[in-house]
Amino acid sequence: MKALADPTVDLDHVADMIVTATVRLSGSETAGLFRRDPDGWVLAATFGATPGKKGDRTTPEPGTIWGRAALSGERFHYADTAVAEPKLPDPEKRRTRMAVPIVRDGESIGVLTMSRADPGGFDKPTIALVETFADQLAVAMENARLFTETTDALERQTAISEILRVISSSPTDVQPVLDTIAKSAADFTAVEDAGVALIKDGSVHLIAHHGPIEWDYRAFPIEGRTVTSRAIKEARTFNIADMEALSNDEYREGKETARRLGYRGFLAAPLLKDGAAIGAIQLRRRQAGAFTPQEVALVETFAAQAVIAIENVRLFNETTEALERQTAISEILRVISSSPTDVRPVLEAITENALRFCATEDAIVMLPDGDHLRLAAHRGPVPVASDLRYPNDGTSMNSRAFREARTIAVQDLQTETEFPLGAETARASGFHAAVVAPLLRDGVAVGTIALRRFDTRPFSDREIGALQTFVAQAVIAIENVRLFNETKESLGRQTATAQVLKAISGTAFDLAGVLDTVIAYASRLTEAENGFVYQVDGDVLAMRASFGERADVMREWQRDHPIRTDYIGSATGRAFAERRTIHIPDVDADPTYTYADAKRLGGFRVLLAVPLISNDRAIGVIALWRTALRPFSQEQIRLVESFADQAVIAIENARLFNETKESLERQTALGEILQTIASSPTEQQPVLDAIVRNAVRFCGGEDAILALYTDGQFSTRAHYGPIALRAPDELWAVDRTTVIG
C-alpha cells in the first residue's frame, strides 16, 4: 500500500505486486490486471496460467468476464461458471471467477481478475479485500497519470520559458529565438529533426534547423505541392502519419523530398499572425506514425512563441525608429516654444533633422514673398545664395508644389524638362534626386520644404513620410508666430473680459452691482465715453446702470423722458424693437436717428446699442456712445455682444433667485399651516390662526381677519394684527358692505 501512494512508482511494478498479492490473499490460482491507456487496453500484469501474456493489447468484449466488468463498470462474480455461464470461454476449466472494475469518475480505467479451478466462489472478506485493491489501484493509477501529466507540463513550461528567455534577451534579433524553437520542438516531441521557415519575398525560406536530416532546399514556392505550402496557404496544422501515403497529385514535391531524405512522419504547424500564416514549424520522423495531440499542441505553442518573437523584433525596430523621430520632433517643439516670435530657428532645426531621418544630403525651406518664394532656411552642401528667390510660376519643383499644394518627387532633376528652372539649378549645383513637399495650412500652401541628393537614388515612401512629419512641424511654427502676434493684441481684452466674468460670478444676485460692472468694463474696453444698461419695464426701457462723465445727467433726464420700447428713432429703442445690434457710425449723417434731445444733451456722434436677448425675447439694451467721430470696430462690437450675454445671465439669475426665494417663503408658510393641521386634527382654531398669521407675513399686510359664512351671516373666526375688532363675536349679514372693517 505504501508503494501505491507514491506517484513516481512504476505502474508495471505496482501491477505485478497487486496480482501477486491478490493470488496469495484470496486463495485464487490466477490473477490479471487490465489497464486502459491513451491507445486502448493492455494486459498490464498476470499471475498463473492465464490465456494472455503481459503487454498484450486487447479490447473489452461482452463475451468475456473482464470485458463485461470494463464495459459496465460493475463487479462480476461467478461461483460456478459451468452453471452460471456455460458458454463463457474457459479453456482451463476454471469454475470460480471474479472481475472487479477499477473506476475513476464513473469510468472504467482498469479491471482486476482472478480465478480458481474448483467451484464455490470467493467469500465476502475476499471480495471486500479485492475491491479494496481495486480502489487503491484507481488512486495509484490516477496519481501516476497526474504525475506524468504534471511532469510533461513542467517540461513544456520549461521549454516555453527558455524560449521566452531568449525572446527577452534578443529584442533586435529573431534568429536565436527561432534556433531555440527548432531545438525545443525536436527535443520535446522525440523527433529526429525540426525546422522553422518564414515567408520572404513571396517564397518560403528555411530560417532555423535542428537535427541530422538534411534539407536539400533553402526556399520553395508558397504554391508548391508540399505539406508545408498547404499548411501556410490554409493556415492550419497538417499531421501526416506517413508521407508515402499522400496523393501524388497534391503533394508530389513533398513526397519526393521525403523519399529522397528518408523521413515518413511529418508535421507542419503554421505561424499565424492575424489569422494568416507568415511561416511554419516543420517536424520530420524517419519512421511512420502520426504525432500525438499533446505533441501537436506543444508545437502550435512554439509556433505562437515564434510569432511573438518576430513581432517583438519588428515592433522594437519600429519603436526605436519612432523614438528617434519623436526625439527630433521634441527638439523641434522645444525650439518652437523658445521662439514664439521668430520662425527661423525652428525652420533651421527642421532642415537639420530632415537630413538625419530622410537619408539626404541637403534640405531647404522656402516661404512666400509676394509673387516669389524666398529662402527661409538651408542645411547641406548644395550651394545656395542667401537672397535666393524663385518666381512662383511653376518652373521649379518648389513653385509647382506650392501652387498645386502637393508633394512632387523626381529621380533625376537634371534631366527633367517639366521644371526648366529646377533642372538648371540642379545642373549648376550638382544634385540629382529631389522631393518637395508643400507646407499646408487648411489646404493652402504657406511654404515648401525640399530634400536633395547628389545621386539618383529615389526617396522611399518611408523617407517621404518622415518629411511629412517635419512639414507639419514647420506649419505649426509658422502658425504659432502668426497666432502669437494676434494673441498679443487681444490678450489685454481677454484679461479684462476675465475680470468682468469674475466680478459677475462674485455678485451673482446683486443685479445692480453686476450691471454696473458690465457697463464699466464694456465702456473701458471699447473706449466709449459713456455707457448705459436698460431693462424693460412695462412699455419703457428703464436705466439700470450707467458709466461715464455724463451718466448722472442722462439718468436724471431719462427719469422724465424714458425711452419707449417701440421708439425706433433712437439706437436703443431700435435695438430693442428689432432685437439686433445697431451701430451708427455718425449720428449726424443717419436719417433714421431722430432722438435729437438726447444727442443735444449728450453731445455724442457714434452710437452702439446691443439688445439683451433671453429665450428669443428682448429684455433690455446695452448702449454706448463716443463724442469723437470714430466708429466701433467689429472686435469691439463682438466684445459688447459677449457682455450683453453676461448681462442676460445676471438678470436671469436674479429673477430666478427672487422667484425661488418667494416660492421658498410660500412653501414655508404652507408647510407651517400643514404642520398645524397635522398636529390639531380635532381643533380648527389653531389652523385658522396660522392662516391669518402667514397671510400677513407672506402678503406684506399688517392685519388679517378670517370670517366664516354660516346661516346667511359672516362671523369672525381668526384675527392677526394691530387693528382692533369692534365686536369680536359680532355677526354680519351677507348684504352688509362693511363685513371686514
Q: For position 5, what pLDDT does the model report?
A: 46
Q: For position 585, what pLDDT does the model report?
A: 93
* Torsion sign over Cα 241, 247, 249, 255: positive
- Across the range 528-545, mean pLDDT stands at 93
What is the share, in percent, of the chain residues with pLDDT greater than 70? 83
Gap between the Cα atoms of 696 and 704, Å rounded: 6
Strands 362-369 and 372-379, sheet pairing = antiparallel
| Lowest-confidence pick of 60-69, 599-608, 618-627, 667-676 | 667-676
Q: Is the pLDDT of residue 9 over 60?
A: no
Q: For position 457, what pLDDT does the model report?
A: 92
Count CB-CB contacts under 10 A for residue 93. Answer: 8
- Under the banding of pLDDT at 50, 70 and 90, the label for residue 3 is very low
Of the ranges 81-95, 169-183, 239-253, 504-518, which is most confident? Answer: 239-253
Gap between the Cα atoms of 542 and 573, Å rounded: 11
Q: For position 171, what pLDDT does the model report?
A: 67
Sheet of 362-369: strand order equals: 389-391, 372-379, 362-369, 444-452, 434-441, 408-410
Q: For position 508, what pLDDT does the model report?
A: 52
- Across the range 524-533, mean pLDDT stands at 91
The more confident residue out of 97 and 666 is 97
Q: For position 521, what pLDDT does the model report?
A: 86
β partners of residue 33: 45, 112
- Across the range 404-427, mean pLDDT stands at 94
Q: For position 158, what pLDDT does the model report?
A: 62
Which H or E run includes 689? helix 685-699
Q: For position 263, what pLDDT does the model report?
A: 92
Q: For position 479, what pLDDT does the model report?
A: 80
Contact 52, 129 (CB under 8 A): no
Q: Is the pLDDT of residue 586 over 90?
A: yes
- Across the range 392-396, mean pLDDT stands at 92
Give tens-digit pLDDT for 189-240: 878 899 999 998 788 888 899 988 887 667 788 888 899 999 999 999 999 9
- At a CB cut-off of 8 Å and minimum separation 6, what does 600 contact? none
Of the ranges 196-210, 407-421, 475-489, 721-735, which is most confident? Answer: 407-421
Nine cell digits for residue 13: 511494478
Kindly give the interhelix angle for 634-679 and 461-506, rounded to the nearest 10 degrees: 60
Nine cell digits for residue 196: 522553422
Of the ranges 115-119, 223-227, 430-434, 597-601, which is most confident? Answer: 430-434
Give tens-digit pLDDT for 451-506: 999 999 999 888 888 888 888 888 887 887 777 756 665 665 666 566 666 666 66
| Lowest-confidence pick of 65-79, 314-328, 343-357, 530-544 | 314-328
Query: The cell 450683453 sits on which residue?
Result: 644
Q: For position 86, what pLDDT does the model report?
A: 63
Give tens-digit pLDDT for 135-147: 888 887 777 776 6
Gap between the Cα atoms of 228 and 592, Å rounded: 92
| Lowest-confidence pick of 81-85, 454-458, 691-695 | 81-85
Sheet of 731-733: strand order equals: 704-710, 713-720, 731-733
Gap between the Cα atoms of 260 and 519, Å rounded: 100
For residue 323, which of 363, 359, 357 has the smallest C-alpha distance?
357
Q: Is the pLDDT of residue 450 over 70?
A: yes
- Under the banding of pLDDT at 50, 70 and 90, the label for residue 650 is confident
Q: Any long-range contacts for 425-429 (C-beta under 8 Å, 24+ apart)?
A: 425/396, 426/452, 429/382, 429/383, 429/384
- Across the range 537-557, mean pLDDT stands at 91
Contact 643, 522 (CB under 8 A): yes
- At a CB cut-off of 8 Å and minimum separation 6, what does 52 contact? 32, 43, 46, 58
Please indicate, yes or no, whether the overall pTM of this predicted structure exceeds 0.95.
no
| Lowest-confidence pick of 113-117, 314-318, 580-584 | 314-318
The more confident residue out of 309 and 379 is 379
Contact 130, 22 (CB under 8 A): yes
Q: For position 395, what pLDDT does the model report?
A: 93
Q: Is the pLDDT of residue 587 over 80?
A: yes
Per DSSP, 725 falls in state P
Query: The cell 426701457 sits on which residue?
Result: 541
Give tens-digit pLDDT for 259-297: 999 999 999 999 999 999 999 999 999 999 899 888 898
Give tens-digit pLDDT for 145-175: 766 565 565 566 666 666 667 666 666 788 8
Contact 714, 730 (CB under 8 A): no
Q: For position 2, what pLDDT does the model report?
A: 44
Strands 57-58 and 76-78, sheet pairing = unpaired
- Under the banding of pLDDT at 50, 70 and 90, the label for residue 243 is very high
Q: How many helices (H) and strands (E) does the chain have?
A: 18, 27
Query: The cell 506543444 sits on which residue?
Result: 298
Q: For position 727, what pLDDT does the model report?
A: 62
Gap between the Cα atoms of 314 and 278, Å rounded: 13
Q: Is the pLDDT of residue 684 over 90?
A: no
Q: For position 149, what pLDDT does the model report?
A: 62
Q: Give the chain's mean pLDDT.
A: 83
